[in-house]
Amino acid sequence: MKDETILNHDEAKDQYGAIVAPIYQNSLFRFKDWDSIDKAFDHKTEDYIYSRLMNPTVREAEDKIAAICRGEKAKLCGSGMAAISSAVLHCVKANGHIVTVKNVYGPSNNFFNKYLKQKFNIETSYVEGKKIEDFQNAIRPNTQLIYLESPASLTMELQDVQAVANLAKQKGIKTVIDNTWASPIFQKPLEMGIDIEVHSASKYLGGHSDLVAGVIVSSKQIVDQIISAEHELLGAKMAPIEGWLILRSLRTLPLRMKAMMETTIEIAQFLEAHDRVKKVHYPGLKSFDQYELGKRQMTGYGCLLSFELVTSNLDSIKAFVNALKLFSLGVSWGGHDSLVYAPVISYLKELPKERFEEMGISPSVIRLSIGLEHVTDLKNDLNDAFSAIK
């Protein structure tokens, strides 16, 4: 079935005929006798025992996400970072090595570079990732994981997902991709040979800026291993109400993605033509240097873009951001509401200046998350804010 049908058709399985899955807001499940609970423990990852491991409401959403990702099984987690750390821990061992991209999401970077390094002596190599040779050259005898984020969520560089998956398979290295930007609607990395796909479901899958969640999608074997190790032991579970909210949001995911993509392309073109803008980073623009690769491996584009203002004067950048009325200033992205963020606010606090430069990020970079408002209003708001730049 197509994604739209998977997300909007449910089997009639509720005993009262409820058309929408109920919220099973319970911590544990009752068993009729000794033998039945004994049996459930033998199949711990398939039976409902305790909501830390599995809950029927959360399971409904997991089954739909697994299906649209063309994976065998999905596990929803309490945040994107819970999904990422669980998936990565599944793939690595002490004294190992990870290859990732230089512009990987900040907390994922901290997890590799600080946490795994200090606790388990796992080293991480950063590559630009635009060429397959970047990965080939970085692989060491102890490389256990290649971790992708394509497109990366700030400067939007892509990696050739299929080529990296093939390379990793030849070398016996596991692959994980953060597929949050493209969403399961526009990119299917498991079909391209990636082992594990992760998402921050706080973005499009939730879609309404009202929850924090994450998801891991892979083969049944890998997801079951993660459920009974990292997910159970670190307690990365999702609350039933959040599973239900995601289930509801998934119904409109294809429609939201299409509408937001159309608006984002129009905004990106508008920015590209504006005299206060130096450069726009958006894989959906024909001028984007990896446009052809994007077209080959994605069927559409996400709603997050960044651009560089012509000025790098901090007061002018501040004046622009503060003048926006429809774009709320805040972190995160992928919801119904348009947002603006200037990475320089946090990056200069979190990273040494050299790392900022190494990542190729100029202080004048502004990130926009485009929501479901009307494109004309958003363009007018941007236009007015550009006039505030001295």
Ligand X SMILES: Cc1ncc(COP(=O)(O)O)c(C=O)c1O
Closest CA to 314 of 378, 365, 257: 365
Among 8, 332, 362, 379, binds ligand X (CB under 6 A): 332
Closest CA to 77 of 257, 217, 274, 252: 217
Residue nearest to ligand X (CB): 80
Rg (Cα) of the chain, in Å, rounded? 21
Q: How far is the CB of 333 from ligand X (least distance, A)?
A: 7
Nearer to ligand X, 58 or 385 (CB): 58
**What stretch of H or E contains 225?**
helix 220-226
Stretch that binds ligand X, among 73-81, 186-194, 241-249, 307-315 (CB under 6 A): 73-81
Q: In sequence order, what are the residues at sequence separation of 6 or more whose Cβ sits closer than 8 angstroms to the Cβ of residue 344?
A: 314, 317, 363, 364, 365
Q: How far is the CB of 40 from ligand X (least distance, A)?
A: 31
Q: How far is the CB of 332 from ligand X (least distance, A)?
A: 5
Beta carbons of 213 and 238 less than 8 angstroms apart: yes
In the window 88-107, what residues touch ligand X (CB under 6 A)? 105
Q: How far is the CB of 387 from ligand X (least distance, A)?
A: 30
Q: How far is the CB of 256 from ligand X (least distance, A)?
A: 17
Among 71, 80, 184, 207, binds ligand X (CB under 6 A): 80
- The 8-class DSSP code of residue 309 comes to E
In the window 162-201, what residues touch ligand X (CB under 6 A)? 178, 180, 200
Cα 81 to chain centroid distance, Å, stands at 10
In the window 105-124, what residues touch ligand X (CB under 6 A)? 105
Q: In sequence order, what are the residues at sequence separation of 6 or more whose Cβ sits closer than 8 angstroms to the Cβ of residue 68?
A: 3, 6, 7, 184, 185, 250, 253
Cross-strand partners of 178: 149, 198
Would you count residue 202 as binding ligand X (CB under 6 A)?
A: yes
Q: What sections of 141-204 are H helices per DSSP? A: 161-171, 183-186
Stretch that binds ligand X, among 75-83, 243-251, 264-272, 282-290 (CB under 6 A): 75-83
Nearer to ligand X, 79 or 263 (CB): 79
How far apart, in whole angstroms, are the C-alpha atoms of residue 120 and residue 96?
A: 8
Q: How far is the CB of 359 from ligand X (least distance, A)?
A: 14
Stretch that binds ligand X, among 74-82, 123-131, 237-245, 289-297 (CB under 6 A): 74-82
Nearer to ligand X, 336 or 379 (CB): 336
Nearer to ligand X, 53 or 212 (CB): 212
Nearer to ligand X, 80 or 284 (CB): 80
Count Cβ atoms below 10 Å from residue 372 Cβ, excluding itself: 17
Beta carbons of 117 and 125 less than 8 angstroms apart: no
What is the total count of residues that contact ligand X (CB under 6 A)? 12
Would you count residue 126 as binding ligand X (CB under 6 A)?
A: no
x/- track of binding to ligand X for residues 204-243 (CB under 6 A): --------x-x-----------------------------
Would you count residue 81 as binding ligand X (CB under 6 A)?
A: yes
Q: How far is the CB of 105 from ligand X (least distance, A)?
A: 4
Nearer to ligand X, 240 or 334 (CB): 334
The torsion of the CA quartet 147, 151, 157, 163, rounded to 10 degrees, works out to: 60
Nearer to ligand X, 105 or 135 (CB): 105
The torsion of the CA quartet 205, 211, 216, 221, rounded to 10 degrees, works out to: -110
Q: How far is the CB of 158 from ligand X (least distance, A)?
A: 14
Count Cβ atoms below 10 Å from residue 113 Cβ, excluding itself: 18
What's the CA angle centered on 73, arms 68 and 78, to 5 degrees? 90
Nearer to ligand X, 54 or 154 (CB): 154
Beta carbons of 71 and 199 less than 8 angstroms apart: no
The residue ranges that bind ligand X (CB under 6 A) are 79-81, 105, 153, 178, 180, 200, 202, 212, 214, 332
